[in-house]
Each structure stands twice: as structure tokens, then as C-alpha cells.
A = this chain, B = another copy of it.
Amino acid sequence: MVAWKNLDTLTSFEDLAKTERVNLIEAMTGENGAERVKKYSVPMAEGFVYNYAAKQVDEEVLTAMEKLAEEAQLAEKFEALYNGEVVNTGEKRLVLHQLTRGQLGDPVVADGVDKRKFYVEQQNRIAEFANKVHAGEIVNADGEKFTTVVQIGIGGSDLGPRAIYLALENWAKKNGAFKMEAKFISNVDPDDASAVLNSIDVAHSLFVLVSKSGTTLETLTNESFVKDALKNAGLDASKHMIAVTSETSPLAKSDDYLAAFFMDDYIGGRYSSSSAVGGAVLSLAFGPEVFAQFLEGAAEEDKLSAKKNLRENPEMLDAMIGVYERNVLGYPCTAVLPYSQALSRFPAHLQQLDMESNGKCVNRFGERVSYPTGPIIFGEPGTNGQHSFYQLLHQGTDIVPLQFVGFKNSQLKNDVVIQGSTSQQKLCANVAAQIVAFACGKSDENRNKNFEGARPSSIIIGDEVTPRTIGALLAHFENKIMFQGFLWNINSFDQEGVQLGKVLAKRVLAHETDGALKEFSDLLNI
């Protein structure tokens, strides 16, 4: 049995806090630095490495972290999770998103069903459906093929699938895997749906309505918006729409949809990219084989997350360093900086994944914790960010730990040599340069040109953004966040913080307000 304890009650955490701080400038300068880069590197799946040489760790700190990982029973907690224990204690639910891509432990039976079989079955049903759409066996009323797929969903039903679609769109075009263009409608702002509808040919579009509960107001509103548009175009909406939902939702058996594919309560929205939520739109866009490769990549990384030894487990290590930075060094933010334009919306997905999971101030027993938990996460692709907010990262008054991601190769292999190097080489040179610039800084008598350094960063380095690598990368962050939740002793799998706003918004719409809320409603002409 695992014991759920607050971080500040663990002896090994106190010991970790007492270790000597690493002087990053000294550590990363000269041969010392070269040695660290070789040493502080751990292999990930799909050819990735996680390199943490430029983090404020050394043997003493790492040894203390190993003890904390053990005392906090991180490996045992993950094992309990993937073997089907009720880890989402607030909602009394299992946490099974890893099971959508592989089985790490015992068969997990819930509601009388082998859940691995259930997820595979949904994946297969989606594959069959997508293949029929691509083959022209499922067509529109005029017998013509669908060319566009439009996901209607918000939060977890939008950010993850959208980030992955954008990551693979050009790869798929280059590699003959591009089947249908995908678009996304998420915001309740009517301009979002209008703009998407104006940009597509609705007669050849298939809409994927995604809502686990079947009650998400934004999503149902946008569904009606789309149905109106289809009707106005003289089309039968039920022939243009599929649903991804839970089997118990009102959408599950409705005649309003061509087909319904299922997820369940054991998969949180923000963890649903590898379930039917990502599966439907990505299989339609790129073919089921591509989606299967994405799942394989994620499954390979999950296996590494199950390793007991901190220094062989990239996710546990990354999580531990993050907690050290948050709770010992006191840094409140983390920037995620992928050096790949394909990952343009990956930071936005990670922002949700991390902040919605670990932005909690009560532990899993409902007690207020007295230490900081989840950090603020933000980021943009490099090199764009270098010409934007990096100024603050280098010379601002606060230190922001950094998480770089870099790839040796471009996706499209279309490149140009300028001043003796390709664009891809320039991209990689920049990320290498940034790590060292942040860590070591540079003294200058003109303090305006002075770089204090000692800004910690890690980097995940891979070969190329492909379905398999994006799967592994996603699993890395999902599992990192899970381990951090374990360390903070919080429930990373609920999101009670979204409720109050919903309740008050309903009250505004019902005109049942007073005080400030009524005044703001008036100002906004509601």
C-alpha cells in the first residue's frame, strides 16, 4: 500500500532542501560543463534524450532526490495508478489514460469491463470508420467524399488534438499521410465558429462533436451553430456529424450522429489526446496508422516512466527537478520552449495539462497545503521567443526555469544554405547557444550588457517531429505532471476550480444577479 503524505512531512524533502546550492555558472563553465553535458543525460523513448546538465543539480542533490523519490513512493504510486487504483480520489475514479496506448501492469477491470480492451476496441472502431471515409464508403448525401474534418470541443477536447494536428500536418503532407484537412471550433465566441464555417466547404465536411459528459455548454452551443449552418446549406446535419463522448452521455445513442465513439470517466479531458478524443480527428486527418504510431511512441515513454530508479526515469527526474525549483529554489514559473515551428501550439496544450492538473492548494484529503504547487507555464517556439520575451528571461529580475525541446532534423527537409549553414543548423545552434548563455551569463562592465547567468534549463533532444516522437513527448509531460502531483500530494486529475465561474455565468444569463455581478453584466450589455 502506498502512503499519501504532504511534501513537507517527508524527511528526505527536508534533507534535499538542506543540500548545498549548485553554482550553475561554475558548474557549466569549461571542461566541467562538458563533463556535465555527457553525464547528466538520460535516454528517452524514440531516440530522445533528456539532458539536465544546465539544471542546478549535482551528485549531492541527485542523491537527495533519489531518497525523496523513494520516500514519496513515486514508482509505487504510478504502479498503483496503472494497476487501476482509485488515484483520482476527489471524483473517486481510476486514472487510465496510459491504458489507451498500452498496458503497463495488470489487466484493469472497471464497470465489469477490461478497460484496455475497451480502449483498443474504440481505436479499432475509429480506424474502421476513418478508413471508410477515406475510401469513399462513407460519403455525403451527394455520394461525394468528405475532405475536411472539424473538431468541436473545448479545453482538453481542443488543445491537445489541435497541437498534435499542427505538429503533424506538414509531416503528413510530406510523407503521403495527409487525408483530410482538420479545423477546430472551441470558443463560445460566435466569431470562432463563423470564421471556421466561412473557411470550409460544409457540404464536404465531417464534424466531430467532443464532450465526455455531453453537457459542455460551449460545445453544445457550437454544435447548434454548426447544425444551423448545415441546415441553411440544405444539408442533413446527422449525415455530417459524429460524436466522441462517454457511453452514458445523452449523445451516445442519438440519431443525430453518423456514429459515436467512446471515452470514459477514467480519462480526464486534458489527458484525452490518446483516447477517442484525439483518435477520431487525428485518424480522419492522417489515417489510423499514423494515430497508432503516435500511441506507440507514447506507450514506449510510459514504460520508461515505470522505472524505479530516478536517474533512469526521465519523467520522474524532470518532475523532481521541477519540484526542487519550485519548493526549494522558489521559482514560480516555467517556460516551455520548443525549437520547432511544428510545435507552435504544444506549449498551450502543456499549459493546460500542467496548470489544470497541479494548480491546486488542497491535498488529496482536502487539506490546505502550506507549500507552493503547480507553477505558471508559458512558452512559444524558438527562435521566435528569442525576439520576444527572452529579454526578461536573460536580464529580468526574476529567474524562470526553462524547458527546451530541440530536433536535429526538420520535417520537410527543404532547406537553404546561407552564410555557410542551413536554417535547421541555425535553429539548433540557437538552442545550444541559449542553454549556455542562460547558465553561464557573461560579465560586462556596462551593466546594461551584463548577463548574470545562473538561469537553469533542461533540453529534450530528438531526431524529428513524427507521430512516434510527438507521442513520446506528450507522454513525457503527462507523466512528469503526474509525478509532481504525487510529490505535492494533490489530486492532479480533477478540476473543481472551473465550477464557480460556470455557476455565476449561468446566473448572469438568467438575469439572477445583484451587486458587482449585475453591474458588470450591465456594462457588458447582457
**A429 and B508 in contact, given A37-B520, A218-B383, A524-B406 (Cβ under 8 angstroms):** yes
Q: Is A391 an interface residue (CB 8 A)?
A: yes
Q: Give the interface segment out of A110-118, A142-150, A333-341.
A: A333-341
Which among A372, A393, A426 has the greatest number of chain B C-beta atoms within 10 A?
Answer: A426
Q: Is the CB of A437 within 8 A of B28?
A: no
Fill in one digit per residue for A438-452: 1 if any B CB lies within 8 Å of its CB, else 0.
Answer: 011110001111111
> Which residue of the partner chain, among B332, B368, B384, B517, contacts A432 with CB atoms under 8 Å?
B517
Q: Is A102 an interface residue (CB 8 A)?
A: no
Q: Is the CB of A189 within 8 A of B451?
A: no
Looking at the assembled complex, report how far the CB atom of A365 sits from the nearest CB atom of chain B, in whole angstroms: 9
**A415 and B190 in contact, given A436-B517, A501-B386 (Cβ under 8 angstroms):** yes
> Which residue of the partner chain, among B159, B222, B398, contacts A372 with CB atoms under 8 Å?
B398
Query: How far, in angstroms, from A420 to B526 measured CA to CA in the complex?
Result: 12
Q: Is A514 an interface residue (CB 8 A)?
A: yes
Residues on the B chain within 8 Å of A270, using CB: 388
Residues on the B chain within 8 Å of A393, using CB: 359, 497
Which among A170, A439, A501 has the greatest number of chain B C-beta atoms within 10 A?
Answer: A501
Looking at the assembled complex, report how far the CB atom of A503 sits from the nearest CB atom of chain B, in whole angstroms: 8
Q: Is the CB of B373 within 8 A of A376?
A: no
Interface size on A, residues (CB 8 A): 161
Q: Is A249 an interface residue (CB 8 A)?
A: no
> Which residues in chain A, 1-42, are within 8 Å of chain B measured between CB atoms?
28-34, 36-38, 41
Q: Is A408 an interface residue (CB 8 A)?
A: yes
Q: Is the CB of A376 within 8 A of B374?
A: no
**A384 and B351 in contact, given A366-B447, A508-B433, A524-B406 (Cβ under 8 angstroms):** no
Residues on the B chain within 8 Å of A499, using CB: 449
Number of this chain's copies in the complex: 2
Q: Is the CB of B508 within 8 A of A361?
A: no
Looking at the assembled complex, report how far the CB atom of A478 sits from the nearest CB atom of chain B, in whole angstroms: 15
Query: How far, in angstroms, from A289 to B355 measured CA to CA in the complex?
Result: 43
Q: Is A69 an interface residue (CB 8 A)?
A: no
Residues on the B chain within 8 Å of A519, using CB: 33-34, 37-38, 53
Q: Which residue of B lies closest to A366 (CB)?
A: B447
Q: Is the CB of A400 within 8 A of B376?
A: yes
Query: How far, in angstroms, from A162 to B410 measured CA to CA in the complex?
Result: 24
Looking at the assembled complex, report how far the CB atom of A440 sits from the nearest CB atom of chain B, in whole angstroms: 8
Residues on the B chain within 8 Å of A382, using CB: 187
Q: Please, could you name 27 A-B residue pairs with CB atoms under 8 Å apart, sorted by A?
A: A54-B516, A158-B387, A169-B195, A194-B410, A194-B412, A221-B418, A351-B388, A352-B387, A352-B388, A356-B392, A359-B393, A374-B397, A376-B376, A390-B501, A393-B497, A396-B497, A419-B509, A428-B526, A432-B505, A433-B501, A433-B503, A433-B517, A434-B501, A436-B517, A437-B501, A448-B496, A461-B524
Looking at the assembled complex, report how far the CB atom of A442 sits from the nearest CB atom of chain B, in whole angstroms: 5
> Which residue of the partner chain, among B189, B358, B394, B434, contacts A410 with CB atoms under 8 Å?
B189
